[in-house]
Amino acid sequence: MIGWMQKNNRYLVWTIWIATIAFIGAGFVGWGSYKFGSTGDSIAKVGNIEITNSKYQMTYSQLYNYYNQRLQGNLDEEKAKEIGIKKQAFDIVKTQAMLLNLADEFGIIVTDKEVANSLASLPNFQENGTFSKEIYENFLKSQHLKKKTFEGGLRDEMKINKLVALFQEDPSQYEKEIIEYALSNKTKIAYKVITTDDVKVDLSDDALKRFWEQNSAKYMYDTRYNLAIKATDTKDINVTEDEIEQEYKNFNYKYMNENGDPLSLEDAKKSIIANAKIQKSEKQSKLDFLAFKKGEEKPDESITIEKNDPKFTEEIWEAITSAKIGDFIKPKLNKDAYISIQVVNTVDPEKMSFEEAKDRVKNDYLANAKINAFTELLEKTLNNFDASKEKQTGYLFLGQNDNIAPLNDQESLQFLQKLFTTTKEKGIITVSDKKIVYEIIDQKRISVEGEQEKMSIQIASQLKNALFESDLTNMLNEKYPTKIYVKELSVE
């Protein structure tokens, strides 16, 4: 799933910058663990437009919740780093800022009345089809947002939409004819789909040890910490039905399903109770901390853990690495509970033994060995490809909806797009994590009409827009230089 997200985040960027306001209902993620080094609220400047901390936070929150929904609520900080959410969020607000610069040059404005009308039309702020000031103000309060910030973001989006509308243009007759020509071509192929699962490698201890010996300098422990941990349990905390109903009434937009639709009270109940228990446990966690510090309470566990292990949040790790031996760290929220920590001791970085490094060695060795074996298998398959002995398709055409087994819908479409733009009769096409060895065995032409004619217009329009977006971004990058005030944003 993460691989798909990384490969397709370009499309996500272009859909989000024209729909930032869709973060309504997703709710913010915690931001205490991210520190900004700039003064004031600005984190960067693009041309004449300042990118504010608050706008970046809103965008990050929207992206985080988007990915969290796709991962069925299993997104954590480690996965967020792997996906590159911080960089994506900055790319989005940077793109917005470039477009706003251009909109200002064009003299595009959005009146207060237009903002008010747009705000009143947002479904999540309506009750029985009418704008509810109470729901709107509760939303702002729950997200720690000022009206000026939220409505300023809405104004920016409306300004960008007006700008983008100026560039809308239907494809020309010549452009449509080019696509029609591609759609009229039908091709029959023989093919074989190959993945890394098709290769086997030697995973014996002898093979792994040889790899470890050659790369032992890579396998080092970072600084490790001996920690005593006291957690504040929430299982005995009571949440009343009235509290549940009140939370749902005031903040139902915080509880959404994977499609972004509001959950019913019954479906949201489990999440509401969990959140309420955590909030109620904050006071008790402070009492637990004092008892723990005085020695009246024993720790729940004592662990030795490597620096920046995802078991703890970035905020907690910052506190741990800043503490001295023997220090107690006040309770902080760690995922679904408050914890207090004592830093008992530290262990300096050192090399891992083979047994200690074995899991990491195995993963690295497997990736490296599979790549080599996969490359050899591909070359062998291509050189010895016999179309009569492999799977064969019927006549394929661009825009076909049928899957090419074992590819799924999206993979089949990507394969066809690459197949119909290649000049090679025989070769290898990459789709996602799969390689398709193919050979064209027959081709013919048909007339384009009906649904295929409509499809040619749609494809021509999409291609034209994609090319325009790419060229526009490149032009704006040169026209409006970016100054970044926060070091972390330029590193990831």
54-58, 113-117, 302-306: least confident range: 54-58
**Mean of pLDDT values over 482-492:** 72
| Ranges 56-70, 212-226, 375-389, 467-481, most confident | 375-389
What is the pLDDT, as a whole number, of residue 2?
35
What is the pLDDT, as a whole number, of residue 158?
93
pLDDT exceeds 70 at position 448? no
> Token digits for 97?
């800022």
156-207: pLDDT as tens digits: 989 999 998 888 788 888 877 777 776 677 889 999 999 888 888 888 889 8
pLDDT exceeds 80 at position 471? yes
Sorting pLDDT into bands at 50, 70 and 90, what band is 131? very high
Domain boundary assignment for the chain? 2-169+471-490, 185-202+354-446, 221-239+264-351
pLDDT exceeds 90 at position 98? yes
**Mean of pLDDT values over 448-459:** 68
What is the pLDDT, as a whole number, of residue 230?
94
pLDDT exceeds 60 at position 364? yes
What is the pLDDT, as a whole number, of residue 401?
66
**Mean of pLDDT values over 338-367:** 89
293-328: pLDDT as tens digits: 999 999 999 999 989 898 999 999 999 999 999 999
pLDDT greater at residue 3 or residue 419: 419
Please name the fold of domain 221-239+264-351. Chitinase A; domain 3 (3.10.50)
Q: Say if residues 488 and 86 touch (Cβ distance below 8 Å).
A: yes
Q: Say if residues 297 and 232 touch (Cβ distance below 8 Å).
A: no
pLDDT exceeds 50 at position 36? no
321-348: pLDDT as tens digits: 999 999 999 999 987 889 999 999 998 8
What is the pLDDT, as a whole number, of residue 428?
95
pLDDT exceeds 70 at position 5? no
Sorting pLDDT into bands at 50, 70 and 90, what band is 417? confident
> Token digits for 359?
């899991």
95-109, 252-266, 471-485: least confident range: 252-266
Cα–Cα separations (whole angstroms), residue 252 to 68, 244, 297: 18, 11, 38
pLDDT greater at residue 114 or residue 213: 114
What is the pLDDT, as a whole number, of residue 145?
79
| Averaged pLDDT score across all residues of the chain | 82
Q: What is the CATH number of domain 2-169+471-490?
A: 1.10.4030.10
Among residues 232, 231, 267, 234, the alpha carbon closest in space to that of 248 is found at: 267
What is the pLDDT, as a whole number, of residue 20?
37
**Mean of pLDDT values over 80-89:** 87
**Mean of pLDDT values over 351-371:** 86
pLDDT exceeds 90 at position 259? no
**Mean of pLDDT values over 341-357:** 89
Q: Say if residues 476 and 99 touch (Cβ distance below 8 Å).
A: yes
Which spans in 110-203 are helix H? Answer: 112-120, 133-142, 147-166, 173-183
Q: Are strands 224-231 and 337-347 parallel, antiparallel or unpaired?
A: antiparallel
Sorting pLDDT into bands at 50, 70 and 90, what band is 451? low
Q: What percent of the chain is modeled with pLDDT above 70?
A: 87
- Kind and range of the H or E element at 351? strand 350-351
What is the pLDDT, as a whole number, of residue 146?
84
Cα–Cα separations (whole angstroms), residue 360 to 20, 55, 183, 225: 40, 39, 48, 20
* Count of all residues that appear for the chain in the document: 492
SS (H, E, C) 426-467: EEEEEECCEEEEEEEEEEEECCCCCHHHHHHHHHHHHHHHHH
pLDDT greater at residue 13 or residue 435: 435
